[in-house]
Amino acid sequence: MPNRSFRHGSLYFTAVTDPLDNILEVQEFIYQYLTVLDKYFSHVTELDLVFNFEKATFILDEMLLGGYYQEISHKNVCKAICDQDEAQDESEPQSFLNLLEEMSLVSSSFYKKK
């Protein structure tokens, strides 16, 4: 299995491919992935990927399915990402104690000051 390495600014990407895979297709996919990352993070850097790893993998999952292109349109991928961000913003995080209270395992007087 040959390793293919690509560089974009300070970022390095390595793809492990079959010997018969088209290297230009792999390079095109990495370019498209970087384009979407650049649009989302406005000039992606290594720190963007380190501190937002789940977002970077979500973008990758939006583009690939079983190792093949699922979506190649930058607009559709960016729209899916924005929709997910809006859904996360709308839902309020529920604290563990509130969850226990809803399950009737703890009363609110247990942790609230009077």
Q: What is the largest CA-CA distance in the chain?
A: 70
**Least-confidence region, from 8-22, 75-89, 100-114:** 100-114
Read off the pLDDT of residues 47-89 as tens digits, 9 standing for 90 and up.
988 998 988 988 888 888 877 778 778 788 888 888 888 877 6
- The residue with tokens 């993998």 is 57
Identify which has the larger pLDDT, 77 or 99.
77
Burial of 10 (0-12, 13-18, 19+ CB in 10 A): exposed
Does the pTM surpass 0.85? The reply is: no
Of residues 86, 88, 62, the one with CA closest to residue 76: 62
**Least-confidence region, from 1-5, 37-41, 81-85:** 1-5
Percent of the chain with pLDDT over 70: 74
CATH topology of domain 3-110: Beta-Lactamase (3.30.450)
